[in-house]
């Protein structure tokens, strides 16, 4: 297929590792792994600020942003966190990065990104100090004055390859200030034909062999969520609640995992109650840092009650403030402060859950009371290890999934009867199987099932275990078993957000498209700020129902949110081809090939987990018409 060339004006970020050659000479393997880890962490931050990590070239990274302020915020946040990350190393192999940001034209051709904007950002980056950020005057002028930055002028610089001098600024955070969180914004909608070509740094299939990643949803782009908020009336048949992320007041950003873990655990506990409608973490955590406008938050999430709080952790103690607000009246229903030893964290969680049950006058059946009364980890260190594992695994790379598994294993070693630790191990194996991140599918499935069995033996009230087993079943073509076990998980944890989209995906692959469509639409009630994965699953059902026109806008929106996953691009190509829009289908396919140049028709057929031959043929026919060979 002929290579396309496209140009666009963008805010371009160029990052480079300082002294990479020297690092490699000290320890080639360790240096390579740490540089790649740094860029993976940076890519996650870039995505959270609405940017796109275009390419990683050895020891350099190229990204683009729609706004200058987002690029600078992402750059400063990475430098801040990377310094903290490097401080943990006892050796001298710690990748330090320089960053340059410029406004300029990008050129996309032959599977790579070049152009004056990229060159200028690279030249400006070379003027930065290690661990610093430099920007051009165009970026300087575009940054709002409200931003808490100091911009030190370096004067006009003669830049190689550019005739006119360029004024350059060093950007740093004002003392005592914090870097702004990513803001919500609506990207402009464009047609598939006019959309710029997309490049991914190292994409994997969206749902390569199963629906397990619907649970993690690691690629959520807060900057692009607002286009699909389902605003619901506060008329649920049962009380409804959203748990916002607890503020981390520990003075150490590394402790945010602990505050997030506490809020997430409360969501998990409340999700077990059939008499309560609980909003998914994905949606409620989008409101991190919100201190005003609780009524608006509740309206957007479609709930009556909001639970928020803060956590201050020291070496051996913890202070937790929590408050439950009735958003309709803006009145505090309940609030309390807990000053305890860290080892009492489980008692605090139980008390908060119990207070919510009492405040909302919920009636619990015997099974629900028994589930809530089950003992948690017997060892605080095991619990802390589990929270760290969950945070690392959530980065969603093969390496981080493996690293998370090792921490889950350590948690299980510290507390052999800790069901959630075994459930975590099971989940990592399910991810490996479904994402093809394992050298032995058979061995990973075996280890995953062993961990699932141990978790079930210890605690059969964990929704995560049911969904892990369901995904392992789906990967092996056990469609009915997959659906049944996921349905059982939903019965155990009625509001657990991962269950229903996983059920939808299993139903669709089994060939029950109408049921799958109904399930994914029902899932949105628990996750009003649903991610692009929901859109993909809904579009997949519509595709196999041959409602191609209805599927197209869903896929286009999903691509706008995260263009680096080839599954969505491929489904769009097949859908457009069935509509007879072959030119646009070729463009969509070309974008998928830029992300995954090794895609082939034969692999798509052999890797398919669709149960029905007619569904496989419908998909393959669409890709073939789009030009996949």
Domain count, the chain: 2
Shared-domain flag, residues 246 and 154:
no
Q: Torsion angle of alpha carbons 180, 55, 33, 436, nearest 10°?
A: 100
Shared-domain flag, residues 122 and 12:
yes
CA-CA distances (angstroms) from residue 440 to 103, 430, 447? 46, 12, 11
**pTM for this prediction:** 0.56
Q: What is the mean pLDDT of the chain?
A: 80
Q: Is residue 302 part of a domain?
A: yes
Which of 374, 399, 429 terminates a domain? The answer is 374
Q: Is residue 14 part of a domain?
A: yes
Which of 340, 374, 408 terminates a domain? The answer is 374
Q: What is the pLDDT of residues 73-130, one digit of tens each?
A: 999 999 999 998 888 888 888 899 999 999 988 876 555 678 888 999 999 999 999 9
Domain ranges, residue 348: 234-374
Q: Which two tokens stand for residue 171?
A: 């950007």
Q: Which helix (H) or strand (E) holds 17?
A: strand 6-17
pLDDT over 80 (residue 235): no
pLDDT range class, residue 497, cuts 50, 70, 90: low
pLDDT over 70 (residue 333): yes
Distance CA 139, CA 321 (A): 40
Shared-domain flag, residues 57 and 129:
yes
pLDDT over 90 (residue 549): yes
Shared-domain flag, residues 154 and 279:
no
Shared-domain flag, residues 153 and 241:
no
Shared-domain flag, residues 86 and 167:
yes
The closest of 22, 54, 28 to 39, measured between CA atoms, is 54
Residue 55 phi/psi, 5° resolution?
-150, 150
pLDDT over 60 (residue 412): yes
Distance CA 294, CA 241 (A): 12
Shared-domain flag, residues 23 and 107:
yes
Contact by Cβ (8 Å): 100, 121? yes
Shared-domain flag, residues 10 and 156:
yes
Q: Is residue 120 part of a domain?
A: yes
CATH of the domain at 290: 3.40.50.10610
Q: Is residue 279 part of a domain?
A: yes
Beta strands 247-248 and 149-157 are: unpaired
pLDDT over 90 (residue 204): no
Lowest mean pLDDT among 211-220, 382-391, 561-570: 211-220
Between 62 and 114, residue with greater pLDDT: 62
Mean pLDDT of 418-436: 85
Q: What is the pLDDT of residues 458-488, one digit of tens each?
A: 988 888 788 889 888 988 889 999 999 999 8
Write the DSSP string, 546-566: T-HHHHHHHHHHHHHH-TT-H
> 10 Å Cβ neighbour count for 191?
10
Q: Residues 112-118: contacts with CB within 8 Å, 24+ apart?
A: 112/55, 112/199, 113/54, 113/55, 113/62, 113/199, 115/7, 117/9, 117/10, 117/12, 118/12, 118/14, 118/62
pLDDT over 80 (residue 280): no
Q: Which two tokens stand for residue 350?
A: 């139980």
Q: Which two tokens stand for residue 410?
A: 């350590």
Shared-domain flag, residues 245 and 370:
yes
Shared-domain flag, residues 273 and 165:
no
Burial-class residue 176 by CB neighbours within 10 Å (0-12, 13-18, 19+): exposed
Lowest mean pLDDT among 137-141, 199-203, 264-268, 292-296: 199-203
Between 472 and 559, residue with greater pLDDT: 472
Mean pLDDT of 41-46: 89
Q: Which two tokens stand for residue 102?
A: 């410029």
Q: Could you give the residue ranges of the DSSP H alpha helices within 195-293? A: 213-216, 256-270, 281-284
Q: What is the pLDDT of residues 151-198, one digit of tens each?
A: 988 888 888 878 788 999 999 998 888 898 765 433 333 333 223 322
Q: What is the pLDDT of residues 340-394, one digit of tens each?
A: 888 777 788 778 888 888 888 777 776 666 666 565 666 888 888 888 888 787 6
Q: Which two tokens stand for residue 547?
A: 């409602």
CA 392 to chain centre: 12
The closest of 476, 467, 591 to 193, measured between CA atoms, is 591
Q: What's the full length of the chain, in residues?
A: 629
Q: Can you give the pLDDT at residue 575?
A: 96
Q: Is residue 109 part of a domain?
A: yes
Mean pLDDT of 33-55: 86
Q: Is residue 366 part of a domain?
A: yes
Q: Which residue has the tokens 């911009």?
A: 151
Shared-domain flag, residues 169 and 238:
no
Q: Is residue 571 part of a domain?
A: no
CATH of the domain at 11: 3.30.70.1230
CA-CA distances (angstroms) from residue 237 to 189, 268, 303, 315? 36, 21, 11, 44
Q: Is residue 339 part of a domain?
A: yes
**CA angle (159 as vertex; 153, 160 as ends), nearest 5:** 165
Shared-domain flag, residues 273 and 353:
yes
Which of 137, 154, 173 terminates a domain? The answer is 173
Distance CA 238, CA 326 (A): 14
Q: Can you give the pLDDT at residue 8?
A: 73
């Amino acid at each position: 297929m002929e290579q396309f060339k496209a140009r666009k004006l963008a805010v371009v970020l160029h990052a480079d590792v300082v002294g990479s050659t020297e690092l490699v000479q000290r320890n080639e393997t360790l240096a390579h792994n740490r540089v790649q880890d740094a860029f993976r962490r940076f890519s996650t931050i870039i995505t959270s600020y609405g940017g796109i990590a275009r390419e990683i070239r050895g020891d350099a990274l190229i990204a683009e942003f729609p706004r200058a302020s987002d690029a600078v915020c992402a750059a400063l946040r990475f430098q801040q966190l990377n310094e903290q990350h490097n401080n943990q190393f006892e050796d001298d192999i710690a990748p330090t990065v320089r960053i340059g940001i410029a406004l300029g034209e990008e050129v996309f051709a032959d599977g790579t990104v070049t152009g004056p904007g990229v060159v200028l950002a690279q030249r400006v980056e070379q003027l930065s100090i290690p661990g610093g950020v430099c920007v051009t005057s165009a970026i300087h002028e575009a940054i709002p004055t409200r931003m808490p930055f100091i911009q030190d002028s370096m004067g006009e610089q003669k830049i190689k390859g550019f005739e006119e001098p360029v004024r350059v600024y060093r950007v740093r955070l004002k003392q005592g200030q914090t870097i702004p969180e990513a803001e919500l914004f609506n990207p402009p909608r464009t047609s598939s034909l006019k959309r710029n070509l997309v490049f991914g740094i190292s994409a994997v299939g969206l749902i390569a062999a199963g629906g397990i990643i619907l649970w993690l949803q690691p690629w959520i782009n807060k900057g692009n969520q607002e286009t699909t908020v389902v605003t619901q009336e506060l008329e649920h048949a049962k009380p409804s609640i959203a748990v916002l992320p607890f503020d981390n007041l520990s003075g150490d950003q590394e402790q945010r995992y602990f505050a997030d873990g506490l809020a997430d655990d409360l969501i998990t506990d409340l999700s077990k109650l059939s008499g309560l409608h609980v909003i998914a973490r994905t949606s409620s955590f989008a409101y991190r840092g919100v201190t005003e406008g609780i009524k608006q938050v509740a309206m957007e999430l479609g709930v009556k009650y909001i639970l928020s709080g803060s956590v201050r952790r020291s070496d051996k103690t913890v202070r937790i403030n929590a408050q439950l607000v009735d958003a309709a009246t803006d009145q505090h229903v309940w609030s309390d402060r807990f000053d305890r030893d860290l080892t009492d964290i489980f008692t605090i969680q139980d008390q908060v859950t119990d207070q919510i049950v009492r405040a909302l006058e919920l009636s619990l059946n015997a099974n629900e009371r028994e589930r809530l009364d089950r003992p948690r980890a017997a060892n605080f260190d095991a619990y802390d290890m589990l929270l760290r594992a969950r945070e690392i695994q959530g980065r969603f790379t093969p390496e981080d999934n493996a690293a998370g598994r090792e921490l889950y294993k350590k948690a299980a070693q510290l507390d052999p009867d800790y069901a959630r630790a075994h459930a975590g191990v099971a989940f990592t194996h399910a991810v490996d199987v479904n994402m093809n991140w394992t050298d032995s599918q058979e061995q990973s499935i075996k280890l995953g099932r062993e961990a699932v069995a141990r978790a079930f033996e210890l605690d059969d009230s964990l929704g995560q275990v049911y969904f892990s087993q369901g995904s392992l079943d789906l990967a092996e073509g056990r469609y009915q078993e997959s659906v049944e076990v996921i349905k059982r998980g939903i019965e155990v944890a009625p509001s657990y957000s991962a269950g229903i989209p996983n059920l939808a995906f299993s139903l669709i692959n089994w060939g029950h498209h109408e049921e799958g469509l109904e399930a994914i639409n029902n899932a949105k009630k628990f996750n009003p700020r649903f991610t692009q994965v929901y859109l993909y699953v809904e579009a997949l059902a519509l595709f196999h129902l041959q409602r191609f026109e209805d599927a197209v806008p869903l896929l286009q929106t999903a691509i706008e949110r995260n263009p680096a996953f080839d599954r969505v691009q491929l489904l769009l190509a097949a859908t457009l081809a069935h509509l007879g829009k072959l030119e646009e289908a070729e463009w969509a396919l070309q974008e998928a090939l830029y992300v995954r140049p090794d895609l082939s028709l034969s692999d798509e057929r052999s890797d398919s987990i669709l149960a029905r031959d007619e569904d496989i043929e419908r998909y393959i026919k669409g890709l073939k018409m789009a030009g996949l060979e």
